[in-house]
Amino acid sequence: MTVTLSLRETPELPLEADSITPTHFAGKTANAIGELPLQQGNQVIQLKEFFDISGESGPTPEETDIVVKGDLRKVKMIGKEMNGGRLTIEGDTGMYLGAEMIAGRIHVKGSVSDWAAAEMEGGNIQIEGDAGDYLCSGYRGSTDGMKGGRVYVAGNVGREMAAHMRKGFLAVKGNVGPQSAIRMMGGTVIVVGDMAERVGVQATKGMIFCLGKLESLFPTYKFSGSSDREFISYYLRYLKERRPDFLSEDIKYSEKWVKYMGDFAEASPGEEIFIRASKNQHLI
């Protein structure tokens, strides 16, 4: 069962809309949904003051789909702490999309702003446009970034992606900005495009696969030989089964991959970075 929200006009001040989740909508009528709170500055207002609401929710979050329409770039926290159900955003949206998400599916048919999937624990997020800074990262002062779930970004990503990442799977079709995977402690990242400088600073565990050009590596990462192609193929097949559009290039089985280990400035250097030799002769 589906509830559709249509934003009437772009708000002058940003809205905090963490009440827009299937958990909050489940079992409610359209009128009751309209009375859910939004935060704007120092005021608490009702959802119906900004959105037209149609359709009906299911009795449980798992049976509730939400579709949100409009220019949502000033609407923050949609899907925050989401714990089941389905949420579709038809356009661009603001900060903290799916932050601290536990379960369910989010599909964004546009771009997202900063801190999307911050400290995510589970679920699935598909972003068809770009993502801002701090995707799948931990909040300032936190030692926990992404802790589970899967995130796919069809466009580019800003800086400090996957900082403090512990578990989960993240795939990016486009390019990634500087300082990604800082203090990474687990999980898997696949970047089909290029990666900027300062990757994996103080990282101790996890895997990064860069199919494009890796701009540079810290000297605290050490060459660890050529990697087994069959091992790489497992992860590429996993990605292709779920998002075949991400791998438009046919990577030959005979292609050489190079592995680096680090960060050896840390007590337990267990981060693994895999790069294609054909794209990264400047590092070999």
The per-residue pLDDT for 251 is 82
Is 37 within the bounds of a domain? no
Q: Strands, DSSP E only, in 80-162?
A: 83-90, 103-108, 124-127, 147-153
Q: Give the integer Cα–Cα distance in Å for 39 and 270.
A: 43
Q: Which two tokens stand for residue 194?
A: 């290029």
Place of tokens 């909040």: 139
Is 260 within the bounds of a domain? yes
What is the pLDDT of the chain when averaged over all its residues? Answer: 96
Q: Is there a contact between 200 and 182 (Cβ–Cβ < 8 Å)?
A: yes
Q: Is there a contact between 265 and 202 (Cβ–Cβ < 8 Å)?
A: yes
Place of tokens 């993240």: 170
Is 39 within the bounds of a domain? no
Tell me how far CA of residue 215 lies from CA of 33, 169, 186, 198, in angstroms. Answer: 48, 22, 22, 9
Q: pLDDT digit string (tens) for 120-141?
A: 999 999 999 999 999 999 999 9
Place of tokens 């799977």: 169
Q: Give the integer Cα–Cα distance in Å for 156 and 60.
A: 35
Strands 2-7 and 51-55, sheet pairing = antiparallel
Domains contained in the chain, number: 1
Is 262 within the bounds of a domain? yes
Is 243 within the bounds of a domain? yes
Q: pLDDT digit string (tens) for 39-89?
A: 999 999 999 999 999 999 999 999 999 999 999 999 999 999 999 999 999
Q: pLDDT digit string (tens) for 154-203?
A: 999 999 999 999 999 999 999 999 999 999 999 999 999 999 999 999 99
Is 204 within the bounds of a domain? yes
Q: Give the integer Cα–Cα distance in Å for 1 and 62.
A: 10
Domain that holds residue 172: 114-283
Q: pLDDT digit string (tens) for 200-257?
A: 999 999 999 999 999 999 999 999 988 766 789 899 999 999 999 999 888 877 789 9
Is 256 within the bounds of a domain? yes
Is 253 within the bounds of a domain? yes
Instruction: State pTM to two decimals.
Output: 0.96
